[in-house]
């Protein structure tokens, strides 16, 4: 009685629900086991590794354990046409059914596998990863970036992420090309594998994963600079790998030229790479700035629900906007996350701050565990695996060499310029911690139509499993082997342990002038314009812009400034004397002392822990030093402040 | 340079992103306008009405404002086949493309409309409403139910929701059938319209919307009993309408019999209705109970992120489980929400409590506003509208009569049994506040393949617009016209104003014995078993179950109980004397005084505001009265307590 005649779409809807239910149950089991592991303080296996193991088990059960009768509704018919429209209408005895294009498929070989239909059904559309699961992970990475340490090491991070990833991509690609040629010579290659395929493989396996190792680092409170280097690199190289792989695909030579490599194609790829990257960056930053402006100039903060909803929607719209314009949504979302944390976060009400953090934390957690359990599942549910042992060995060698070619030469070059050297034990840990995760998987599953792509996908899965289980599990022993300090307070850093003069000098030298310029500009103009904090624009803009400045400056900026000055006055009057004159006598010129005043004051009043970190990064950069060539420090240095209990005062 | 050759699927992905972006921008605009309205305290238009207006504007622009060139990739081809498989492979010059079934379509008539393709594309798959947008709305309704007032009026609410909705469905159906026959006679009907179609229409327009009016009621703090009646009815009748409409569809006579109405089909429909409803209810309750057990017997509360994720996944799995088993996911989710709030909520950590509330609040807000702006959009983007003025007039008459046939006769019958009568002004407000909203829309857009369904859809849209704008906007004037009390404190209710003896008597008579039995069972066995609160099972279960009881009772239950007794002792020792003896001397028998002790104690210690409400509802039910036939009150009544400042003590 409860099973009335079901239409085909109802039947397929029930099947879809059941498939999704498998994943929900998997995630629930993973959560319970994670709890058990955390509860019993097991650290040899991270939650992502756990999720993969559960996925593996379910994959084995689906493949070998259950034997379902072949679904009768699933007869695959073939009809010949001359083009592939996005929609076709099928006339079935007078009734019309609409079909939509799902994509190109290879003629399915693997139909001898038991439960082939069911396995095909639990296989998600790869676009789900790019459009639904990756954006929250990447946004959260940007939003929760520890910006103080990130910006302090920005030069090195950018070098690793851009130069390093491209190097790694080419080294891996070349090694793989050698491997492929060798395989072809000994007759072990079952299909075409071009040089561009090798480069593509290099690009996708060069994306390191910010999740697994860093969760352990965070828990063990590993040295903050090492953490910043690894985190910054792995977040940014995801973006680099996406754009790199898509530009390799977009400009791969067609037809007979595929065996050679064309120089002009390389240049074109580079052009695409730069265009897409900067476009995505600009779009992400623009949406972030717009959100900041909206939250600043409306009183939306009186209604935290509306505010959170707006924040969520604007962040999501970045992704859609970038995708609609042909840029890369995931990259845009990363920079949007950084901008939102840097500006918008300051304008939010306390409730929205915690709401938005918790929301994105939850989304990130769910998406991550979903991807990792799905990875485990695909090892058995994917039906076109091509496992070639020699190719796999070659790939492991190639990623090892590629990672080494990224870390060691670049660290050597960076150490030439860095005062605060990247020690060799840091370099070894960075080498070891180059896990491959969600991004590598998503990039490799996106297209599994050709023989080359299928072999890449199977190999990539093995690489992810190996690095997550072995390198992820070995992180703790590796850290103790390399004598890396653990248990470091995040608000301190190792430069504090050096004598005061040394610290300031090394800090100053750590950052090149473009970054210092940017900090000053950001602090004096962008922050006051986009947020409620910072020095009033009336004091930083030239006098002629007075009316506009008054209009754009939040009333809170003045208040905060005054309150703050008082606070600091009571605290240490000798230090703040010059500040007083600046903040009350706003003569409208961006003098060095003004900017310093702003920095001091901001550091003391901002209620945003993220922001405070950055501001201190900023404060350190304009601190008076004995270098007379620095235009920002051409005023007498304040006397050193007495040691205070407030850990944030360490560097003042 | 930035536009490399795009594949078809990439092009369609960009188009999809752009379409979704339109909605995100719409929602963002809605949020900003809602803020403006709240800021300026405009109340004549609710946010859902606003969302609809924005949707309308965008619909007009898309239809008349933009003229896009016809998309070349969208040529619709036709090829004849004998069946409709879920997947077909299309051979395009040697490459295979996979197409998946989207559903049956009518041969599109409306291709003369400008921008037909684009309009078709902004039209979402109706299943999106059922599978993505409705579940969070309905779950949130169940989760945020004010259970004290809900349970106190449960009998009346169930009557309105079940008997009333079915009555309304049949009355509306019959009036519409009369209207359809008349239209056929005068030759104004352009296609088939069967009696089952009329009944289906009756079912979908009988679902009243819990959103719009109740937001206003909540803001104005309207009388709590009226609020509970309307809210309870509109939440439950959504569930009733879904199951009713799907059982009408499942058992409609085929072919020539469609013009008649078959008695056995009616009985079958009733069977389906009861089966699906009770199955969905059981599934929702079961998942809720399982979540409660998991959260009780693990220490998951130490990790709020894991806890919230588990809570979210378990709630979502209810929906999928019900759908996979052929029940109704939305109904299951409603009862899951109520169960989660009643049991699981007590076990959550403070952080998870606020996290889960905020998460579901946000999802509910976004889904609701999305549906309403989509409604506005469809008025212009849907291309198969059939507006028949006489049918529309008939429909408005029918829903008026249907609503009247629900409210007035039922209220009369209920008032025969109720001590606390439903006054006639309450009845008028309930009559007036039967807005149609998201559920009616979702049910009517689900199938728009036939002429009858298209006419229904167009008419339903007009009904929703009218009721949301006119009835929604007129709520405040209506309340003052009907002299309904506003500004009532939610924790008080109007019975408090009566003398003490009267209150207790009327309260007792309000609830029938099945509910009192349920309360006792729930309080003595279910709550202690599923949560950390309640009296220890050792004191409520028979002595022979001692070991099991000790095993299942949370240690917190004992602690809470003791602490609590002390607290109350200090407060009013005369009142609590009997409690002391019970809680220390747990002789294992479910005596009346035990249950009373438990009720008192719980009411004072539970940190859950929702829970406290219910318990007080419970407390009132077992309060000693002068009725000797009640087995629960066969002990001397405690002396009346002195008036306290705590509003929750009013009824003790």
ipTM of predicted complex: 0.76
Mean pLDDT, rounded, for A368-385? 87
Q: Is the dihedral of CA A493, A494, A497, A499 positive or negative?
A: negative
**Chain B partners of A98 at a C-beta cutoff of 8 Å?**
101-105
Higher pLDDT, A517 or B465: B465
Distance (Å) of CA A233 to CA A161, A353, A429: 5, 26, 13
Test A100 with B104 for CB contact under 8 angstroms.
no
Question: Which of A325, A423, A2, A465 is CA-nearest to residue B13?
Answer: A325
- Checking A245-254 for CB contacts under 8 A at 24+ apart, the result is A245/A200, A245/A203, A245/A204, A245/A443, A246/A272, A246/A276, A246/A328, A247/A272, A247/A273, A247/A276, A248/A196, A248/A199, A248/A200, A248/A203, A249/A196, A249/A200, A250/B4, A250/B5, A251/B4, A252/A194, A252/A196, A252/A200, A253/A196
What's the pLDDT at B509? 46
The token pair that represents B455 in the structure block? 């006419």
DSSP annotation of B31 = H
CB-nearest partner of A365 from B20, B78, B309: B309
Question: Which of A359, A287, A319, A332 is CA-nearest to residue A127?
Answer: A319
Residue of A nearest to B86 (CA): A74
A582-619: pLDDT as tens digits: 222 333 333 333 333 333 333 333 343 333 333 333 33
Q: What is the pTM of this model?
A: 0.77
Test A25 with B101 for CB contact under 8 angstroms.
no
Mean pLDDT, rounded, for A67-88? 54
Test A102 with B104 for CB contact under 8 angstroms.
no
A485-512: pLDDT as tens digits: 777 765 444 443 333 334 444 444 455 6
Test B306 with A75 for CB contact under 8 angstroms.
no
Residue of A nearest to B247 (CA): A4
Give the span between the Cα atoms of A538 and A342, in whole angstroms.
22
Q: How many beta-carbon pairs below 8 A join chains A and B?
A: 297
CB B51 within 8 A of CB B369: yes
pLDDT of B232 over the 80 cut: yes
Give the span between the Cα atoms of B111 and B327, in whole angstroms.
37
Higher pLDDT, B519 or B177: B177
Give the span between the Cα atoms of A153 and A136, in whole angstroms.
25
B71-103: pLDDT as tens digits: 444 445 555 555 556 666 666 655 566 666 665
Q: pLDDT-based confidence at A168, cuts 50/70/90?
A: very high
Interior CA angle at B379 toward B377 and B385, to 5°? 140
Q: pLDDT-based confidence at B289, cuts 50/70/90?
A: very high
What's the pLDDT at A413? 92
CB-nearest partner of A362 from B2, B13, B308: B308
Average pLDDT, chain A: 74
What's the pLDDT at A617? 32
Give the span between the Cα atoms of B277 and B575, in whole angstroms.
44
pLDDT of A365 over the 50 cut: yes
Bridge partners of A218, per DSSP, are none
Which residue out of B34, B83, B111 would a mutagenesis test of the A interface target, given it has the greatest number of A Cβ atoms within 10 Å?
B83
What's the pLDDT at B562? 39
Q: pLDDT-based confidence at B283, cuts 50/70/90?
A: very high
Question: Would you give the distance in Å from CA B473 to the centre of its chain?
Answer: 22
Mean pLDDT, rounded, for A80-100? 61
Highest-confidence segment of A95-104, B263-272, B443-452: B443-452
Give the CA diameter of chain A.
Answer: 92
Test B300 with A3 for CB contact under 8 angstroms.
no
**Chain B partners of A6 at a C-beta cutoff of 8 Å?**
326
Give the rounded percent of residues in chain A with a pLDDT score beyond 70. Answer: 68
**Chain A partners of B120 at a C-beta cutoff of 8 Å?**
none
Higher pLDDT, B205 or A507: B205
CB-nearest partner of B98 from A2, A105, A305: A105
Number of Cβ within a 10 Å radius of residue A83: 13
Q: pLDDT-based confidence at A578, cuts 50/70/90?
A: very low
pLDDT of A573 over the 50 cut: no
Bridge partners of B103, per DSSP, are A98
For the sheet with A87-92, list strands across it: A77-81, B87-92, B95-105, A95-105, A87-92, B77-81
**Chain A partners of B309 at a C-beta cutoff of 8 Å?**
27, 31, 362, 365-366
**Chain B partners of A38 at a C-beta cutoff of 8 Å?**
302-303, 306
B359-380: pLDDT as tens digits: 999 999 999 889 888 888 888 8
Average pLDDT, chain B: 74
Residue B197 to chain A, least CA–CA distance (Å): 18
Bridge partners of B80, per DSSP, are A91
| Helix spans in B434-526 (H) | 438-445, 451-466, 472-473, 475-481, 500-510, 513-521
**Chain A partners of B316 at a C-beta cutoff of 8 Å?**
24
Residue of A nearest to B272 (CA): A2
Give the rounded percent of residues in chain A with a pLDDT score beyond 90. Answer: 21
Give the span between the Cα atoms of B405 and A648, in whole angstroms.
70
Give the span between the Cα atoms of A193 and A195, in whole angstroms.
7
| Helix spans in A75-153 (H) | 116-122, 127-128, 134-143, 147-152
Q: pLDDT-based confidence at A533, cuts 50/70/90?
A: confident
Residue B452 to chain A, least CA–CA distance (Å): 17
Test A279 with B2 for CB contact under 8 angstroms.
yes
Question: Would you give the distance in Å from CA B166 to the centre of its chain?
Answer: 17
**Chain B partners of A107 at a C-beta cutoff of 8 Å?**
96
CB-nearest partner of A13 from B25, B91, B127: B127
Give the CA diameter of chain B.
Answer: 92
The token pair that represents A76 in the structure block? 């695959």
Residue B614 to chain A, least CA–CA distance (Å): 27
Bridge partners of A101, per DSSP, are B99
What percent of chain B is helix, strand and coil (3-state, nearest 5)? Answer: 70, 5, 25
Test A272 with B310 for CB contact under 8 angstroms.
no
The token pair that represents A558 in the structure block? 């003045």
Test B320 with A359 for CB contact under 8 angstroms.
no
What's the pLDDT at A8? 58
Test A2 with B294 for CB contact under 8 angstroms.
no
Mean pLDDT, rounded, for A223-228? 85
The token pair that represents B637 in the structure block? 């009544």
**Chain B partners of A251 at a C-beta cutoff of 8 Å?**
4
CB-nearest partner of A102 from B31, B100, B359: B100
**Chain A partners of B17 at a C-beta cutoff of 8 Å?**
319-321, 323-324, 329
B239-277: pLDDT as tens digits: 889 888 888 887 666 555 555 556 777 787 788 888 888
């Amino acid at each position: 009685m409860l099973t009335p005649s079901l239409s085909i779409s109802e039947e397929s809807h029930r099947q879809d629900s059941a498939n999704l239910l498998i994943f929900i149950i998997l995630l629930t089991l993973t959560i319970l086991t994670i709890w058990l592991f955390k509860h019993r303080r097991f650290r040899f296996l991270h939650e992502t590794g756990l999720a993969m193991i559960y996925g593996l088990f379910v994959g084995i059960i689906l493949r070998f354990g259950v034997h379902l009768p072949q679904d009768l509704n699933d007869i695959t018919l073939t009809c010949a046409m001359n083009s592939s429209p996005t929609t076709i209408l099928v006339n079935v005895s007078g009734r019309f059914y609409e079909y939509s294009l799902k994509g190109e498929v290879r003629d399915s070989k693997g139909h001898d596998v038991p439960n082939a239909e069911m396995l095909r059904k639990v296989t998600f559309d790869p676009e789900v990863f790019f459009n639904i699961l990756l954006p929250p992970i990447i946004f959260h990475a940007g939003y929760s970036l520890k910006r103080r340490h990130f910006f302090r090491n920005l030069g090195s991070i950018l070098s690793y992420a851009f130069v390093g990833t491209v190097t790694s991509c080419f080294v891996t690609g070349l090694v793989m090309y050698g491997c492929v040629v060798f395989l072809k010579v000994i007759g072990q290659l079952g299909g075409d594998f071009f040089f561009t395929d090798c480069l593509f493989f290099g690009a996708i396996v060069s994306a390191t994963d910010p999740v697994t190792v860093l969760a352990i680092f965070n828990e063990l409170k590993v040295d903050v600079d090492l953490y910043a280097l690894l985190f910054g690199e792995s977040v940014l190289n995801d973006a680099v790998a996406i754009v790199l792989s898509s530009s390799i695909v977009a400009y791969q030579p067609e037809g007979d030229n595929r065996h050679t490599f064309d120089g002009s194609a390389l240049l074109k790829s580079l052009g695409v790479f730069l265009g897409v990257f900067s476009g995505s960056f600009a779009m992400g930053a623009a949406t972030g700035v717009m959100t900041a402006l909206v939250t600043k100039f409306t009183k939306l903060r009186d209604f935290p629900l509306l505010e959170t909803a707006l924040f969520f929607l604007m962040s999501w719209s970045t992704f859609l906007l970038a995708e609609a314009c042909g840029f890369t949504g995931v990259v845009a979302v990363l920079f949007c996350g950084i901008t939102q944390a840097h500006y918008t976060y300051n304008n939010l009400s306390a409730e929205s701050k915690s709401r938005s953090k918790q929301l994105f934390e939850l989304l990130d957690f769910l998406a991550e565990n979903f991807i990792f359990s799905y990875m485990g599942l695909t090892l058995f549910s994917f039906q076109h695996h091509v496992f070639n042992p020699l190719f796999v060995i070659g790939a492991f060698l190639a990623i090892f060499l590629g990672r080494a070619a990224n870390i060691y030469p670049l660290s050597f070059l960076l150490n030439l310029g860095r005062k605060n050297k990247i020690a060799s034990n840091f370099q070894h840990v960075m080498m070891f911690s180059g896990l491959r995760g969600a991004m590598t998987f998503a990039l490799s599953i996106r297209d599994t139509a050709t023989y080359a792509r299928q072999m890449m996908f199977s190999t990539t899965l093995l690489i992810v499993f190996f690095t997550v289980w072995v390198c992820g599990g070995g992180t703790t022993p590796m850290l103790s082997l390399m004598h890396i300090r653990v248990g470091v307070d995040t608000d301190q850093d190792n430069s504090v342990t050096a004598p005061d003069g040394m610290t300031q000098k090394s800090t100053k030298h750590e950052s090149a002038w473009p970054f210092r310029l940017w900090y000053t500009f950001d602090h004096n103009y962008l922050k006051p314009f986009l947020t409620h904090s910072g020095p009033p624009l009336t004091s930083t803009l030239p006098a002629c812009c007075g009316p506009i400045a008054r209009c754009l400056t939040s009333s809170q900026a003045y208040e905060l400034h005054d309150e703050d000055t008082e606070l600091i006055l009571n605290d240490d009057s000798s230090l703040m004397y010059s500040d007083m004159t600046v903040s009350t006598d706003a003569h409208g010129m961006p003098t060095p002392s003004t900017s310093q005043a702003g920095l001091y004051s901001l550091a003391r009043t901002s209620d945003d822990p993220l922001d405070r970190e950055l501001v201190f990064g900023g404060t350190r950069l304009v601190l008076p030093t004995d270098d007379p060539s620095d235009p920002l420090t051409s005023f007498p240095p304040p006397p050193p402040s007495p040691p205070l209990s407030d850990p944030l005062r360490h560097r003042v």
